[in-house]
Chain A
Amino acid sequence: MKKYFIKGLWQDHPALRQLLGMCSTLAVTTTVNNAIFMGFGVTFVLISSCFFVSLIRKIVPEEIRIAVFTVIIATFVTIVDIFFKAAFPAMSEALGPYVPLIIVNCIILGRCEAFACKNPIRASFMDSLGMGLGYTWLLVALAAVREILGFGTLLQKTVMPAAYQPLIVMVAPAGAFITLGFFVAIMNKIEKNK
């Protein structure tokens, strides 16, 4: 059971190894706050969708499985969107269209198709929890690098000395590609040396 959980955090990391979910990874990681909310939003959708897909895996005919997955995923994404709007209006605004866009995050459809529809509920739960948290730590790590270098702050608090000149490029899209590139390179280097 444990191995299903661990592999999402490192070995089969959804973003660093499978390179899935790139759009939101690049777009929302300008501040750590955004990354935390996005990460937990995706994790919630992932766990709930995989749970339901696994629950009904024996009664869903193969021909309509993608349609069923999409309806289930869209439902949970909309629930997250409504929840953010009601409980965290400021965050909902900062994340803008990226919360509803979790629907097309391929990590979720990917886990439903590759794992949850073939495995029992407990294994699917561990798998989706690992993948979700794996995605979340990457978002937070990327956002921390970008926020510190790009704004000189961490969680909105100034951490760099006053003389520090923020590198605007780090919060621009180019900074997202550069930082993610370094993360994937480090990952590959570590895996190669094993």
Chain B
Amino acid sequence: MKKILKTTSVLTGVCAICAFLLALVSGLAKDKIASNEQKKIEGAIFKLSPSVKKTEKTSINNSLVYKLFDKNNDMTGYAILVSGNGYQGQIKILAITDTTFNAIEGIQIIESSETPGLGAKINEDSFKKQFKGIKLREPLECVKEKATKENGILAISGATISSKAVVSILNEKLFSIKSQLK
């Protein structure tokens, strides 16, 4: 009996101290991490559409949406931060569309923890540039052979799940936001 009590109390004590330490560090770093992500998103927006001079943050359907304006203060499109599950953990994608949600102008992966060398290739330009100019009339489709369809995205070999995850995150979120805006 004494042994059980000792074992339990030591393990509980260690866990409690560790949890306290983690909460402390996480609390201290939270703002800094959020501002780093903010900077990264803005950097991605200016890289994907260099004409953008000003952004305005809103939220549609729980997704973070930026309205983009050029130097004459004309709206040029939207930047939408969408997220969903990948093969390992969350994938966060920034997609830029035109003002009417007709087509995607480009995507950038903001956060992912896919398998290095396989799924992590969703970060490569050869994969991302396939989304440029894709029309948002019908859902995108992940294909395994040469993309002949207008809305086809060629999957990365060895990383079908990660490729499909990117496509389905975009499908799910972009179309719901599109219907909200109408």
A interface, size bucket: 20 to 34
A75-B18 in contact (CB<8A): yes
Partner of A79, one of B15, B21, B33: B21
* Interfacial chain A residues near B116, Cβ < 8 Å: 27, 96-97
- Chain A interface main SS type: helix
A89 located at the interface, meaning its Cβ lies under 8 Å from any Cβ of chain B in the complex: yes
* Interfacial chain B residues near A173, Cβ < 8 Å: 117
User: How near does chain A come to B91, taking the closest CB pair, in angstroms?
Assistant: 13
Nearest residue, chain B, Cβ from A28: B116
Nearest residue, chain A, Cβ from B11: A64
Interface residues of A in 80-130 (CB under 8 A from B): 82-83, 85-87, 89, 96-97
- Docked Cα-Cα span, A79 to B21, in Å, equals 8
A56-B29 contact, Cβ under 8 Å, with A61-B3, A89-B36, A89-B40: no
Number of A-B contacts (CB under 8 A): 57
- Docked Cα-Cα span, A137 to B30, in Å, equals 32
B11-A86 in contact (CB<8A): no
- Docked Cα-Cα span, A74 to B19, in Å, equals 11
* Interfacial chain B residues near A75, Cβ < 8 Å: 18, 21-22
B181 located at the interface, meaning its Cβ lies under 8 Å from any Cβ of chain A in the complex: no
A-contacting residues of B (Cβ < 8 Å)?
3, 6-7, 10-11, 14-15, 18, 21-22, 25-26, 29, 32-33, 36, 40, 88, 113, 116-117, 120
